[in-house]
Amino acid sequence: MKIKIERNQKEKIPKKKKERVISVGKHRKMVLALWLLLSCSLAFGIYKNFTAIDQHTTHEKVVVKEKVVNTSGVESFTKDFAKEYFSWKNNKEAIEKRMSTLGQYLTEEGFALSQEMVRADIPTSSEVQTVKILDVEKHSEEFVISFLVDQKITEGKKTQSISSAHRVTIFENEKGNHIITSLPTLIENPEKAEYEVNQVEGDSEIDIKTTEEITDFLETFFKLYPTASKNELEYYVENDVMRPINVNLKFVELVNSVFFKDGNNIQAKINVKYLDNLSKTTNFFQYRLSLQKNENWTIVGFK
């Protein structure tokens, strides 16, 4: 008897589904990079914001330093030239000597033109008294010089003094040598400036007693002042606002003194009359003083 053994099929065990695992480690670098980018963007935004504020509130100052140009050489050259150019004598030998000297200052064109200025038969002679520089303008390698020349013109027995203003152009090379590139051209003579004097009136609030005290103090001071030492001045003057002058002057009087209040001080506008013992001249010195009274009157300001 055969026994049939049937094998049962193995029971299929259902496979477990793999759980989805999120790996943090793989994305960590990306997250850090994003945070870093965000931080940089925020920092840059803050920086731009402050920068923008600074641009609106900060005013830059550009300091332009002026180059100091030494004009003593060209001024001296101009004076020497003017003395030769505006001086002559009415004889042939002197005229030839003058032209020979001018050749050291002028271009060929200028030299040729200047020969017409003083003729051989000229009836006058000229002597330059003074040459005064009025203005100096620097243009690249050239200077434009304005000057005033005083001449004494003689014709026979007649002598006349004249004053005229001129302008010349002078070239200067890198070695500091000069040459006249344009002959003297007449310009307008300088005039006296107009100035209106502001009349200062005395302060009515200052009583007569105070006025007399200040006057006595100033008369005493100006008698001593011409020959006073520094130690002597310390009794009358504070902070060395007036220093010793050491001159031989004799005090005469105060003229047209005006006093007015300035806060706690008194301003004094005075003319001091002195006799110069050496030259025997009478001089008026004008002072604007600031006076203050503590125990005694003292001079605390001077201009």
Locate 118 and state its tokens: 């003083």
Q: Residue 193 phi/psi, 5° resolution? A: -70, 145
Task: Give the mean model confidence (pLDDT) for residues 46-51.
Answer: 63
Q: What is the pLDDT of residues 80-109, one digit of tens each?
A: 999 999 999 999 999 999 999 999 999 999
Give the number of other CB atoms < 10 A from CB of residue 254. 16
Please report the pLDDT score of residue 39 as a whole number.
72
Whole-number average pLDDT of the chain? 85
Whether the per-residue pLDDT at 53 is higher than 50: the answer is no
Do residues 165 and 147 make contact, with C-beta atoms less than 8 angstroms apart? Answer: yes
Q: How far, rounded to the nearest angstrom, does the alpha carbon of residue 293 sit from its chain's CA centroid?
A: 37
Token pair for residue 258? 């005006």
4 or 243: which leads in pLDDT: 243
> Is residue 140 very low, low, confident or very high in pLDDT (cuts 50, 70, 90)?
confident
Q: Is the dihedral of CA 102, 108, 114, 118 positive or negative?
A: positive
Q: What is the pLDDT of residue 183?
A: 95
- 72-187 is classed CATH 3.40.309.10: no
**27 or 126, higher pLDDT:** 126
Please tell me which residue, 15 or 99, carries the higher pLDDT value: 99
Which among 265, 257, 254, 230 is positioned nearest to 244, based on CA atoms?
Answer: 230
Given a cut of 90, is residue 22 above it in pLDDT? Answer: no
Q: With 90 as the cut, is the pLDDT of residue 45 above it?
A: no
Q: What is the spatial order of strands in the sheet that 125-139 belongs to?
A: 125-139, 142-155, 158-172, 178-187
Mean pLDDT confidence for 239-260: 93
Check: CB of residue 187 under 8 Å from CB of residue 167: yes
Single-letter amino acid code for the residue at 110: G
Average pLDDT on 55-72 reads 65
Residue 119 confidence (pLDDT) above 70: yes
- pLDDT of residue 177 exceeding 90, the answer is yes
pLDDT score at 40: 73
d(CA 281, CA 123): 42
**pLDDT at 194 (0 to 100):** 87
Locate 209 and state its tokens.
């007693």
Q: Under a CB-based contact definition with an 8 Å cutoff, are residues 206 and 260 in contact?
A: yes
38-52, 210-224, 239-253, range with the lowest pLDDT: 38-52
**More confident: 22 or 81:** 81
What b/e string do you get for 46-58 counting C-beta neighbours within 10 Å, with b at 16 or more?
eeeeeeeeeeeee
DSSP 219: H
Indicate the domain borders of the chain: 72-187, 208-302
| 208-302: CATH topology | Nuclear Transport Factor 2; Chain: A, (3.10.450)
pLDDT in tens, 195-217: 887 766 666 678 899 999 999 99
Rounded Cα distance between 201 and 259, Å, is: 8
Residue 168 has pLDDT above 50, yes or no: yes
- The number of CA neighbours under 13 Å toward the Cβ of 273 is 7
Q: Which range is least confidently modeled, 44-48, 242-246, 286-290, 299-303?
A: 44-48
Q: Is the pLDDT of residue 260 over 70?
A: yes
What's the pLDDT tens digit per position in 217-241?
Answer: 999 999 999 999 999 999 999 989 9
The listed range with the strongest mean pLDDT (15-19, 216-220, 261-265) is 216-220
Identify the pLDDT of residue 93.
Answer: 92
* CA dihedral of 97, 117, 75, 173, whole degrees rounded to 10: -80
> What is the predicted pLDDT for the residue at 61?
67
The pLDDT value given to residue 275? 96
Report the C-alpha gap between 280 and 278 in whole angstroms: 6
Question: Nearest 5°: CA angle at 57, between 56 and 59?
Answer: 95
Please indicate whether the domains covering 72-187 and 208-302 agree at the CATH topology level. Answer: yes
Q: What is the pLDDT of residue 127?
A: 96
